[in-house]
Amino acid sequence: MRIIANTGFQDGVGRSTTTAVLAFMLMRHQGLKPLIIDLDSKNSQRMFFQDLKDAQLDYSTEIGNAKLQINRGRIADLATVGYSLTNQPPIVNTKIFKLKRYLKSLNYDIILIDTPSTFDTSCMLGFQLADDLNIVCTSGIEGLDQVENVLDKLNTLVKDSVLSPSFSTITLNGKDVATYKTDFSYKIKKYYRDFTFQTILKRRKPIHDYASKGITERYVNDRKALKDYKELTAEFSKHYKLEHKQGIFKDKTYTEILKGTT
């Protein structure tokens, strides 16, 4: 069972959309049971998972000093983690390892983490829990900047013994971009840097046709399954704009959007 974190230090680039779409596609086309962990709770106006948050509470438990609460949803289950692991940004310690082991012991096939757009303790917790890290970003030169920004932070965390270098993959919008050497410093793969400057600068696709598509293709190994992808992300995109304009979805909830594609 894999724990996958979607990150990226930009607002409105599609982390939540990517997480939701990927959960649905894995459930529908791969037959997997996903758990979404929402660590982006600071944004009180973001109601993207609100109907899942209002769903039936399955259970709540304490893991170390972390309070884990899971709500049972029809498409996916949603977890929130309230924690007080340390007064300082969390470090690699037995409490976080215990939480990760507990999450992996639950009856889920895959866990998807939605991290905040700011580099804070919630974001760091997502990094520490994840096996794979997906950087969600707009296309173009901003993409390479985001990779360098995230790798900068990761290298500092590893150097300061705050983060263990345990990621199996680091991607930008689903494409492999980084690896680490024996000294545990993360490096941008040269072929990707060359590809970025030669090719990706010519693309200016909307985020919902770019980031979540690439990430979904990476984990959903069924080309036919992606035929309903554009329709699904178009719905999310439309209601995401309403969410920012009105503060809440007025006409459709998350589950209702997905229900129309089942």
In the prediction, which pLDDT does 108 show? 92
H helix intervals, 82-177: 94-105, 121-129, 141-159
pLDDT grade for 39, boundaries at 50, 70 and 90: confident
Structural domain containing residue 156? 2-259
90: exposed, middle or buried (C-beta count within 10 Å: 0-12, 13-18, 19+)? buried
Q: What is the mean pLDDT of residues 76-92?
A: 61
More confident residue, 228 or 102: 102
Q: What is the rounded distance in angstroms from the CA atom of residue 60 to the CA atom of residue 98? A: 16
Q: What is the rounded distance in angstroms from the CA atom of residue 44 to the CA atom of residue 126? A: 19
DSSP 8-state class, residue 184: -
This prediction's pTM: 0.80
In the prediction, which pLDDT does 126 show? 87
pLDDT for residue 59 is more than 90: no
Q: What percent of the chain has pLDDT over 70?
A: 60
pLDDT digit string (tens) for 153-164? Answer: 888 888 877 777
CA distances from 231 to 30, 48, 228, 234, 260 (A): 19, 18, 6, 5, 10
From 27, 12, 20, select the one nearest 48 (Cα to Cα): 20
Chain-wide mean pLDDT for the chain? 72
Q: What is the mean pLDDT of residues 74-99?
A: 65
Q: What is the mean pLDDT of residues 71-83?
A: 74
Q: What is the mean pLDDT of residues 118-136?
A: 86
In the prediction, which pLDDT does 117 show? 84
Domain of residue 153, CATH code: 3.40.50
Phi, psi values for residue 210, rounded to 5°: -125, -65
**E runs forming strands in 173-209:** 175-180, 186-188
Residue 47: how many other CB atoms lie within 10 Å:
19
pLDDT grade for 4, boundaries at 50, 70 and 90: very high
pLDDT digit string (tens) for 174-192? Answer: 888 888 877 778 888 877 7
AA letter at 149:
N
pLDDT grade for 5, boundaries at 50, 70 and 90: very high
pLDDT for residue 105 is more than 50: yes
Counted domains in the chain: 1
pLDDT grade for 227, boundaries at 50, 70 and 90: low
**Contact, 129 vs 113, CB < 8 A?**
yes
Residue 161: how many other CB atoms lie within 10 Å:
9
AA letter at 94:
T
pLDDT grade for 239, boundaries at 50, 70 and 90: low
AA letter at 70:
I
Which range among 13-17, 206-210, 245-249 has the greatest average pLDDT?
Answer: 13-17
